[in-house]
Amino acid sequence: MAAGACWKLFCVVLGILEAAVYSVTLYGWPAFMYIFIEEGFYYSRCDFDTVTNATYNMTSADCSGLGNCTQDTAGEDLILKCTEQEEMLNLVYTIAMVGLVALFFLGYVYDHYGTVCLRIVSICLCVGGVILMALTEKGTEGLLFPGAVFHLMGGYQLAITDVQVAVLFPKLKATLICLISGAIDVSGFVPILLKMAYQAGVSYKMCMFTFAGIILLISSVNTITLPPRQDDDGNDIDAACYLKILKRHRSAEVSSKPSTEASFPLIHQGGFLCHQVDRDAILEKAHDKNNHHAVSINTSDQQVKNGEHRKTSIDQSDLMVREEENPDSNDVDDNTYTSLLHGTLLLIKRPTFWLLLFWFICQDTIIVTYQGCFYAIINYYGNNVKSTVSMYTDVYSWFQVGSLFWALPTGLMLDKLIASSAKEGYMIRHFFKEIVKDPLPLVGEVPQDRSSWRGRLRVRLAPPSVED
């Protein structure tokens, strides 16, 4: 009992850790911007002439044109501002965020091929993206674009699968989901750790390759320990996906074998097409049975129904395969697919779905825009002083850790509301049903004896007994 609880707790902690380490690390883009500018990415696009340098030095020194200079920047290590460089780096961030539209295809893999297949693809994307970013240097800055897109797509999808740990503790499902959501925001803090290591003297490539190794280690272990996905009835969705894949693979192998058609050619018997058994197989089986009666795998079953004659020839080997499988599996798969498609169409037709989608897009657009512009903002108000820009970047990253602490009370509150609504749901529904059906005894005819009125109300709202 204790071992099972410890194992569940370990799976939950590992899922939260995965979401917190590398799910959406690009949300900490200001720290990445600091590193990329220090590495000189897209510095070749900068065009500094004599007039620009003179104007820049005068403005950064006394800030007289801005009127918001709060410190003397003389002797400070200044950041030479290059608009072209910042525009290209922000373009990397923008394309990575827009690339999240491709999560639709990963969602298709998630629904049709299961969690393990999806996580393998996502791990390759996430780790491969970091490796591409690690291989970037002056002259090959184009690797940042696919690297950022792949890393963000893979990390985001891995965080989505981490929600499955909520099935381990059904009474705390909302709490665990909120913790996973809060941990996703915490991943924006990780780039500041890379920045601190970079400032401590660790090379850029070493930081990124180490980060890729950590991602590969944690994600591989979590793929093994992650519980399977379940529906509302507790059925294993992943197992159903795997069985469906095996069934398709088996049917493809059978249909692709040329020996099948050669061994069982079609012949015409009595107006019906039947399979003829391979004669060599028959002779071999007959020899094994000491020359007993010749073995015929084909069976014929004649039935007379409504004046019609039917003749069926069934392959014995096909029968052996079908005996191991559920005869209604095809119908179940078709019904399941139809119900899922029907449910998806119903969901898309609901105005609530589009309203929530619109709200999420607007909210995410504001957040993503602010994160992309944050480095330029702190560079402007920090008077291009490198130490000031670095400090503001650290403070911004530390604030993102607070989302995990806010997620805990939010999840506990949701679980409490869900539990209370489950207990009081029947009483509330029954109350409104009684009001609509016959409101006079409850509203219009209030008796003088309040105790009798309360008793009558209590009786009317009580759930029906088993005998009723």
Which pLDDT does position 114 carry in this prediction? 87
Asked which of 312-321, 322-331, 449-458 is least confident by mean pLDDT, the reply is: 312-321
Dihedral angle over CA of 134, 136, 141, 145, nearest 10: -30
Asked which of 5-14, 71-80, 413-422 is least confident by mean pLDDT, the reply is: 71-80
Residue 26 vs residue 421, higher pLDDT: 26
Looking at residue 63, the DSSP 8-state letter turns out to be: -
Kindly report the pTM of this predicted structure.
0.67
Q: Can you tell me the mean pLDDT for 116-135?
A: 95
**How far does Cα 342 stand from its chain's mean position?**
22
Ramachandran class of 190: left when φ > 0, alpha when ψ lies in -120 to 50, beta otherwise: alpha
Which pLDDT does position 217 carry in this prediction? 95
Residue 94 vs residue 325, higher pLDDT: 94
Q: Is 305's pLDDT higher than 70?
A: no
- What phi and psi, each to the nearest 5 degrees, are found at residue 312? -125, 135
Split at pLDDT 50, 70, 90, the class of 405 is: confident
Contact 154, 133 (CB under 8 A): no
Q: CA geometry: angle at 325 spanning 255 and 289, to 5°?
A: 80
Rounded Cα distance between 119 and 127, Å, is 12
Split at pLDDT 50, 70, 90, the class of 353 is: confident
Q: Is 76's pLDDT higher than 60?
A: no
What confidence tens digit (pLDDT) does each residue in 196-221 have?
999 999 999 999 999 999 999 999 99
Ramachandran class of 290: left when φ > 0, alpha when ψ lies in -120 to 50, beta otherwise: left
Rounded Cα distance between 5 and 36, Å, is 44
Q: Percentage of the chain with pLDDT > 90?
A: 28
Looking at residue 325, the DSSP 8-state letter turns out to be: S
What confidence tens digit (pLDDT) does each residue in 140-192 have?
999 999 999 999 999 999 999 999 999 888 888 899 999 999 999 899 899 99
Rounded Cα distance between 314 and 263, Å, is 14
At position 344, the amino acid (one-letter code) is T
Q: Can you tell me the mean pLDDT for 406-412?
A: 89
Q: And the tokens for 460?
A: 């009317």
What confidence tens digit (pLDDT) does each residue in 205-264 have?
999 999 999 999 999 999 999 988 877 676 777 777 777 777 777 777 777 766 544 444
Beta bridge partners of 272: 269
Q: According to CATH, what is the number of the domain 2-229+384-406?
A: 1.20.1250
Rounded Cα distance between 431 and 415, Å, is 24
Which pLDDT does position 17 carry in this prediction? 93
- What phi and psi, each to the nearest 5 degrees, are found at residue 366? -65, -45
Which pLDDT does position 389 carry in this prediction? 86
What confidence tens digit (pLDDT) does each residue in 362-399 have?
988 898 888 888 888 888 888 878 888 888 888 888 88
Q: Is 400's pLDDT higher than 50?
A: yes
Q: Is 283's pLDDT higher than 50?
A: no
Which pLDDT does position 444 carry in this prediction? 43
